[in-house]
Structure formats: structure tokens, C-alpha cells
């Protein structure tokens, strides 16, 4: 996964417009994120870069399309070291808070407001009735009496420009954390101590990082296991799985956890698995007898062993289901890949 950031800064008397998206009073900044690649970190870093570009004594309004960043910036206190150790992008937020404190000490007006993103989509720009947060553009009234964001508002045009700059920056090369300029480094602004795991700097929750490292060592032992084939296969499958997809499957509430665990550990009662458990006078033999058919698939008649791979990937009986699934996945993938960022 790649993350990047974009900033559009304009003087209040020379705001961008449809006809003049960039004028002499506009400053644009963008780049690839250094360190951990996460969207919320990129949004926070963009806020930091905007703060750095404006003199602390200059009043300003900051419009951000990430509500989490706006809410965190509005918190009136700086959490202690113990609490910060659980936060993401600690160093970035410490630098942001230092700049905000400086502006406060100078009695400089600093407005931090949320603005809706991607309002070029007619459905997205509609306001939800009773929403807790409203866009800083103020909205416009539609024919049906409902409210929606105004895509021609200067704040939306500036935000769109910042998003386009960030998308272009995704094509830049990765920046080595050790070669980054000091003010770009995620280490700048950190605590008096930092934690590294396998030469990697931990930017997020320290406790979670330690837990993840423990899981990593267990999975590595499973992958290298020579005594238990199922354990080795589990480790290898985990290695090639995508973390986001894996998390979604783990948190799935539609399919029972018992079934999912049996599926992942190859413990479902396929004919192949049942045949391996059978021995003379075993419980499996007494229950199923000759119905197991030597472990062969009972559906396709091809005399192939009925394994999970055969059931899910190979059995001709289920080919029409697999073909439909692949078409649906391809359609979803194509429609979501608008920014070509997969």
C-alpha cells in the first residue's frame, strides 16, 4: 500500500475558483509519505506541512477532509507519554501540537474545519439528515429542499486540487526513512525514546506492535515446521494473504467462526479428510463404512480426491459458481480502482 499527501494554501483574498484553480496567491505542496503507509498518517502530515508553511502569527483557516484529524486537532489537551504510546503517528502529532501551542501563545486565530471529500459525486455530496458534522462550505439547497455540498465552492476546489496532487505523488518512488530530509522523517518529533523491531521504526501502538511481532514469530515457526503439514500450510497461506482482506474475514459475522477455523485449518469433513481418518473398526469407519468411496469426490465422478482445493478450485460441478464469483470480483475491482492505487 502507498500513501501520499497534498496541500493547497491560498490567501483569503485570492481564493481558487473553477476558472482560476491556481493563482499567484496559491501554494501547492505534495509528496510521498515517509515511513508507515497509512491514509490517516498522510492526512495528519498534510496538516503539519500546511502549518509549517504559514507563519505562526498569521491567522488562518485549515480545511481538512479527514474528520479524525479534525477531531484530534480540536482536543484541548496533549496526552501523556503512556497514552501517546498507543497512538498512531506520534511524532507528527507532537509537532502539530507544538505549532498549535505556538499559535495560541501568540493569540493567532486558527480555525480547523472539516470539508467533505470527492463532492464531484452527486450522491456523496448530499447531506444526511441529522448528521453530527456539516461541511465547511455551508451547503446549497436542492430542489427537493435537502442540502448538499457546493462543488464550486473555493474550499472544495482547493481540496480537490490537493487530492489530485496527492494522487500524482503516488507515482513517486519510495523514500528511504534513513535518507529522508529531517523535517520529512517520521522520527522527528518523537519521544526521548523510540522502538525498532527488526530494524523497522514503530510509529503506531507499541503494545500492538509487540503483539504483532509475537504472532509473526509463531507464524514463522509454523512455516518452517517439518512435522505438521497442516501447520506449515497455514503459515504459508497467511504469508501470501493481504492484511486488510484477512482482517475482514476474521471479523466476518455472517459465517460461523467454527466453520471458518475448520476451513482455514483444512479440518472440514471432506471425503479426502474422512478417508485419511479411517482405519478398521475406527469410529469414522463404523459411521461411514464404504460410503467414503476411497476419498474421491462424489459429485464430479472424476475419481479425484475430494480436498478443499478440489472443492473450491477444481471440481467441474462448481465451475459455474466460480466463474460468476470471478466476474463479480473483477467488476468490483474495476469500479473501485478509479485512482489506479491498488
Instruction: Give me the helix-helix angle, 39-53 and 154-169, nearest 10°.
Output: 120
Residues 6+ apart with CB under 8 A from 220: 235
What grid cell was written down for 235? Answer: 503459515
What grid cell was written down for 296? Answer: 474421491
Name the residue with cell 522502538: 195
CA distance 216 to 223: 10
The answer to whether the predicted template modeling score (pTM) of the entire model surpasses 0.75 is no
CA distance 120 to 149: 10
User: For residue 280, what pLDDT band results from cuts at 50, 70 and 90?
Assistant: low
Of 103-117, 278-292, 322-336, the one with minimum mean pLDDT is 278-292
Q: Which range in 5-19, 194-208, 215-229 is most confidently predicted, on average pLDDT?
A: 194-208
218-225 mean pLDDT: 81
Q: Which range in 29-33, 83-87, 332-336 is most confidently predicted, on average pLDDT?
A: 29-33
% pLDDT > 90, the chain: 32
User: For residue 324, what pLDDT band results from cuts at 50, 70 and 90?
Assistant: very high
Q: Are strands 110-114 and 4-10 parallel, antiparallel or unpaired?
A: unpaired
pLDDT at 44: 94
With 80 as the cut, is the pLDDT of residue 270 above it?
yes
pLDDT at 130: 80
The better pLDDT of the pair 48, 198 is held by: 48
The helix (run of H) or strand (run of E) holding residue 31 is strand 26-32
pLDDT at 342: 46
CA distance 42 to 6: 9
- Give the DSSP per-residue string, 91-130: HHHHHHHHHHHHHHHTT--EEEEE--S-TTSTTTTBPPTT
Tens digits of per-residue pLDDT, 196-216?
A: 887 678 888 888 889 888 888
SS (H, E, C) 170-223: CCCCCCCCCCCCHHHCCCCCCCCCCCEECCEECCCCHHHHHHHHHHHHHHHHHH
pLDDT at 25: 63
Half-sphere exposure for 127 (CA within 13 Å, toward CB): 23
User: For residue 85, what pLDDT band results from cuts at 50, 70 and 90?
Assistant: confident
Tens digits of per-residue pLDDT, 122-179?
A: 888 889 888 888 899 988 988 888 899 999 898 899 999 999 999 999 988 888 877 7
Collapsing DSSP states into helix, strand and coil, what is residue 278?
coil
pLDDT at 337: 56
What mean pLDDT value characterizes the chain? 85
15-19 mean pLDDT: 49
Of 52-56, 66-70, 301-305, the one with minimum mean pLDDT is 301-305
Amino acid at each position: 500500500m502507498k500513501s501520499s499527501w497534498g496541500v493547497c494554501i491560498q490567501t483569503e483574498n485570492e481564493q481558487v475558483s473553477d476558472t482560476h484553480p491556481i493563482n499567484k496567491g496559491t501554494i501547492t505542496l505534495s509528496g510521498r509519505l515517509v515511513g508507515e503507509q497509512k491514509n490517516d498518517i498522510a492526512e495528519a502530515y498534510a496538516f503539519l506541512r500546511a502549518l509549517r508553511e504559514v507563519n505562526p502569527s498569521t491567522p488562518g483557516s485549515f480545511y481538512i477532509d479527514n474528520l479524525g484529524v479534525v477531531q484530534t486537532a480540536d482536543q484541548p489537551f496533549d496526552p501523556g507519554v503512556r497514552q501517546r504510546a498507543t497512538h498512531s503517528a506520534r511524532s507528527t502529532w507532537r509537532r502539530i501540537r507544538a505549532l498549535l501551542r505556538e499559535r495560541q501563545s501568540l493569540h493567532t486565530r486558527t480555525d480547523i474545519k472539516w470539508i467533505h471529500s470527492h463532492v464531484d459525486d452527486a450522491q456523496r455530496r448530499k447531506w444526511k439528515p441529522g448528521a453530527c458534522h456539516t461541511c465547511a462550505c455551508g451547503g446549497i439547497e436542492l430542489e427537493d429542499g435537502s442540502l448538499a455540498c457546493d462543488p464550486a465552492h473555493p474550499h472544495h476546489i482547493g481540496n480537490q486540487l490537493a487530492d489530485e496532487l496527492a494522487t500524482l505523488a503516488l507515482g513517486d518512488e519510495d523514500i528511504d526513512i534513513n535518507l529522508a530530509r529531517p523535517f520529512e522523517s517520521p522520527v522527528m518529533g518523537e519521544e526521548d525514546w523510540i522502538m525498532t523491531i527488526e530494524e523497522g521504526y514503530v510509529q503506531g501502538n507499541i503494545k500492538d506492535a509487540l503483539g504483532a511481532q509475537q504472532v509473526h514469530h509463531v507464524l514463522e515457526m509454523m512455516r518452517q515446521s517439518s512435522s505438521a503439514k497442516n501447520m506449515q500450510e497455514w503459515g504459508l497461506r497467511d504469508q501470501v494473504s493481504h492484511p486488510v482482506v484477512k482482517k475482514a474475514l476474521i471479523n466476518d459475522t455472517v459465517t460461523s467462526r467454527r466453520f471458518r477455523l475448520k476451513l482455514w485449518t483444512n479440518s472440514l469433513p471432506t471425503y479426502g479428510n474422512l478417508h485419511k481418518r479411517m482405519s478398521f473398526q475406527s469410529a469414522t469407519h463404523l459411521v461411514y463404512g464404504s460410503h467414503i468411496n476411497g476419498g474421491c469426490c462424489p459429485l464430479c465422478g472424476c475419481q479425484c480426491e475430494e480436498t478443499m482445493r478440489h472443492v473450491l478450485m477444481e471440481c467441474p460441478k462448481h465451475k459455474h459458481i466460480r466463474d460468476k464469483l470471478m466476474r463479480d470480483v473483477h467488476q468490483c475491482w474495476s469500479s473501485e480502482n478509479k485512482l489506479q492505487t491498488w
